[in-house]
Amino acid sequence: MRLSRAASWFLLAFGVWSWFIWVSFVRNLWKDGSGLAFDGAGDPTGYFWVHLLLAVASFLLGTAVGVIGLRGVLALRRASRGERGA
């Protein structure tokens, strides 16, 4: 299966965006002072664990989507070099 140039770049951009957003979210979650992520004793709450799990799943999916996009971009570049060389 071949991806179009636009689809490849979109998937790659989505993977990068996903990492940027979720890394920022985890940093904010870790520094939470509102009492949602950590209780009074400083122990993580259910809110913390659920959102950390969501972040990890999003890292994995964002990575997979980004890798698919990167492979599409690289395949298009190889194909265009092959056409120029022939």
Residue 83 half-sphere exposure, CB side, CA atoms within 13 Å?
Answer: 6
CB neighbours of 39 closer than 8 A, spacing ≥ 6?
A: 45
Q: How many CA atoms lie within 13 A of 25 on its CB side?
A: 16
pTM (2 d.p.):
0.81
Which of 60, 61, 68 lies closest to 4 in space, CA to CA?
Answer: 68
Q: Write the pLDDT tens digit of every residue in 2-58.
A: 899 999 999 999 999 999 999 999 999 999 888 899 998 999 999 999 999 999 999
Cα(75)–Cα(7) distance, integer angstroms: 13
